[in-house]
Amino acid sequence: MRNKIRSLLPLVIAVCACLLPLFAPSCANTTQAPSGGKKDTIPPLIIDIKPLPGAVGVPLQGARLIFTFNEYVTIKQAQNIFLSPPQQRQPKSRLRGRNLIVSFEEPLEPNTTYTLSFTDAIADANEGNMFPGYTYVFSTGERIDSMMITGTVRDCNTLAPVKGATVLLHKDHADSAVLLHRPYAATKTDDWGFFVLPFIQDTLYRLYAVKDANNDKIYDPESETVAFIDSLVRPVLFAADTVPEMLKYDMLDTVRCLARRSEHELKLFREKPSKQFIVNKVRTAERSAYLTFQAPGAWIDSLWIRGYRADQVISQFNILQDSLELWVNSRRAAPDTMSIWVNYRKTDSLGRLVPTQEIVRLPLPADKRTYSKTTRRNIRHDDTVCVYTFKTSPETVEQNGFELEFRNPIIYEQFDSVQFYSINTRQRQTRAEFTVEQDSLNLRRYILRPKDPLMPGFEYSMKLPYKAFRDINGFWSDSTVVKVSLPKDETLSTLELDLGGVDRKIIVDLLGEKRDKVLRSYVTDRDGTLRFPYLKAGKYSIRITEDGNRNSIVDTGSLLEHRQPEAVVFLEVAGDTYIRIPSSAELSQSVDVGALFNP
């Protein structure tokens, strides 16, 4: 085997030489800065390796690997000289002349095939041209393992490839292995999120990927994202220096990079914490506070506030049930320190949820004492009225109506006194009707929605009169008026999605070109037409998420529960995941939802 690998060295060097035209057509003096002529754009080239690739019987201690380049080089990122299986301590790299010498800070394992990878690690000393990379293989045993596994790592929400993710291969099939031990093999993804784990044994593995913040090759759920394959994987491909998956390409060479065979797709997500305890508590005002829990789904058996009856305490969890808001509906003076007894299920040292009682004492900061003598001179108008926000936007008023949200729960409301008018193009004002809907997830939020379709060219005015609402502090609301008109810009466009085959609850999001912000959103579980009006010309994406637990939000996954993040697909039109919206257009697109999730 050793002789066979030795005989392949000239072929390896020849392949590297053939790849050079992918980077540039010219060369320069590599020992000193060029004094004229074309700039050196050719990356360094390995011309000798000791011991030769495929070496077997490498000693467990004192081993040195020497890579000789055709020019002087520098180490740009030592951490990218990547050993697999990884050791606790990073290999030591140093330069001597044109040689890169790699040694090991701890003994190698017996009868083990190792790979040493160079990606974004080495550059020439003069112009900084990056060495495209190379994977060197050797063994401390009598043979080289011959199998490999390939795949791609993507972000679970955007499906964009993730560069620099660490892919971990474990022989230990226990769920906790990735949390406790270094892997059997590891590698990093390239610009396309692609990875190859070469020269591994033919056996069953667990396959993971993490964004390894501390570079220890162990998953830390508190600070890192993770991806995993549900089932055990077994390699079926054979590794060789000449297969396309192991060659190092210019990352701008889209055709060649996409032609590589990717066997597995892993989607990185951030887990919700699993340990449950009260992590934060804040007194927000005289009669309000909130508690934040470490993990979602907080389980509270009982809660009471000293000095108040149960019916005087108003509480509200957020949708993830990891943040609890509290208000006291009482006219009596609030105590300087609010004492809250919380009986809930807390994670103990063995990881079990056990009944626990905590007494949370929250002093009122001096600047929150509205009527204290020391702060009376600093009282603001907002400290003496029922505070709310009332807003809408021309682009979304048809879908979302007018949004009214109070700072504190209200104990008196008179929505009948709210006045809603439409003003036509002749400035004739007409009283219009609207509906009131309280948000099921936020008791302080209401949606006021016009009953009749809004007309282009009309102005709409909604007035909240003085003293229409009163909050738990006994304060009355001020009056305000919000006016809105549908956009008049004739260059704006409309996109309609005709949904068919809807066999599940889905969340449909309209995203901009960067896919970093949701512009419009619908939640539905039936066939129908979704309308996205008033769009500027540009590139957009339609993201459709399968709402598996039907809670109307995009949920993440869980490693220990073997639960993947909720499935996401992007609508493709003519093979493009972007929808190009021209000016002044009305576009319609049919979408077979069932086919998207079951191609």
- SS3 state at 47: strand
For tokens 């995993």, name the residue. Answer: 228
Q: What percent of the chain has pLDDT over 90?
A: 80
Q: Count CB neighbours of 373 within 10 A.
A: 7
**What's the rounded Cα separation, in Å, for the pair 111 and 423?**
84
Same domain, 255 and 341: no
* Average pLDDT over every residue of 59-84: 94
**Residue recorded with tokens 């807003």:** 391
Neighbours of 129 (CB within 10 A): 22
CATH code at position 255: 2.60.40.1120
Domain of 400, CATH number, reads: 2.60.40.1220
CATH number at residue 546: 2.60.40.10
Task: Choose the final residue of a domain: 224, 246, 268.
Answer: 268
Structure confidence at residue 375 (pLDDT): 52
Per-residue model confidence as pLDDT tens digits over 338-347 = 999 999 999 9
Strand 528-535 and strand 568-570: the pairing is unpaired
pLDDT score of 241: 87
Q: Is 13 left (phi over 0), alpha (psi -120 to 50) or beta?
A: alpha
Do 157 and 228 lie in a common domain?
A: yes
Q: If pLDDT is split at 50, 70 and 90, which confidence band does 381 have?
A: confident
The mean pLDDT of 30-34, rounded to a whole number, is 40
Same domain as 558, residue 466: no
Instruction: Using pLDDT thresholds of 50, 70 and 90, give the confidence band for residue 24.
Output: very low
pTM score above 0.85: no
Who's near 9: CB < 8 A, 6+ residues apart? Answer: 49, 52, 53
Same-domain status, 346 and 411: no
Mean pLDDT of 79-88: 92
Determine, yes or no, domain membership for 465. yes
DSSP 434: E
CA distance 196 to 239: 9
Q: Examine the domain organization and report whether 338 and 288 are in the same domain.
A: yes
Residue 529 inside a domain? The answer is yes
Q: Are 117 and 167 found together in one domain?
A: no
Q: Summarize pLDDT for 159-178 with one digit per residue, the tens.
A: 999 999 999 999 999 989 99
Q: What pLDDT does residue 40 have? A: 72
Q: What is the reported pLDDT for 10?
A: 44
The residue behind tokens 């063995």 is 350
Q: What is the mean pLDDT of residues 19-41?
A: 46
210 lies in the same domain as 115 = no
pLDDT tens per residue across span 198-237: 999 999 999 999 999 888 999 999 899 999 999 999 999 9
Q: Give me the mean pLDDT over the 49-58 stretch.
A: 96
Q: Span 177-186, mean pLDDT?
A: 95
- Predicted pLDDT of residue 383: 80
Q: How many structural domains comprise the chain?
A: 5
CA dist., res. 267 & res. 285, Å (int): 42
d(CA 440, CA 144): 62
**Structural domain includes residue 434:** yes
Residue 524 near residue 499 (C-beta atoms within 8 A): yes
Mean local confidence (pLDDT), 364-369: 75
pLDDT digits (tens, 9 = 90+) for 257-311: 999 999 999 999 999 988 999 999 999 999 999 999 999 999 999 999 999 999 9
pLDDT at 222: 86
- Please identify, among 213, 242, 268, the residue that sits at the C-terminal boundary of a domain: 268
In a domain, 378, yes or no: no
Residue 375 lies in a domain: no
User: pLDDT by residue (tens digit) across 408-436?
Assistant: 999 999 999 999 999 999 999 999 999 99
237 phi and psi angles, rounded to 5 deg: -100, 150
Which tens digit of pLDDT belongs to each residue from 456-514? 999 999 999 999 999 999 999 999 999 999 999 999 999 999 999 999 999 999 999 99
pLDDT, average across residues 18-29: 38
Question: In this structure, are 235 and 346 located in the same domain?
Answer: no
Task: Note down the domain range covering 310.
Answer: 281-368
Residue 274 belongs to a domain? no
Confidence of residue 15 (pLDDT cuts 50, 70, 90): very low
Asked if residue 371 has pLDDT above 90, the reply is no
CATH number at residue 364: 2.60.40
Of the candidates 345, 323, 362, the residue with the CA atom closest to the CA atom of residue 442: 323
- What is the pLDDT averaged over residues 91-104? 95
Q: In what order do the strands lie in the sheet with 288-293?
A: 278-285, 288-293, 323-328, 313-317
Question: pLDDT band at residue 370, thresholds of 50, 70 and 90?
Answer: low
- For residue 286, being part of any structural domain is answered with yes
- What rounded mean pLDDT belongs to the chain? 90
36 pLDDT above the threshold of 80: no
Q: What is the pLDDT of residue 225?
A: 96
Stretch 71-85: mean pLDDT:
92
CA dist 44 and 216 (Å) reads: 30
Taking the alpha carbons of 278, 284, 285, 289 in that order, is the dihedral positive or negative? negative
The reply to whether 467 falls in a domain is yes
Res. 111: pLDDT tops 70: yes
Instruction: Name the CA dihedral angle for 424, 425, 429, 430, rounded to a multiple of 10 degrees.
Output: -20
Q: Does residue 585 sit in the same domain as residue 465?
A: no
Q: Does residue 503 share a domain with residue 480?
A: no
For residue 199, the model assigns a pLDDT of: 97
Whether 34 shows a pLDDT value over 50: the answer reads no
Q: What is the pLDDT of residue 557?
A: 94
In the listed set 211, 238, 268, which residue is the last one of a domain according to the structure? 268
Claim to verify: residue 71 and residue 193 sit in the same structural domain: no
Backbone angles phi, psi at 211, to 5 degrees: -90, 95
Give the pLDDT confidence score for residue 380 in this predicted structure: 79
Answer yes or no: do 501 and 534 share one domain: yes
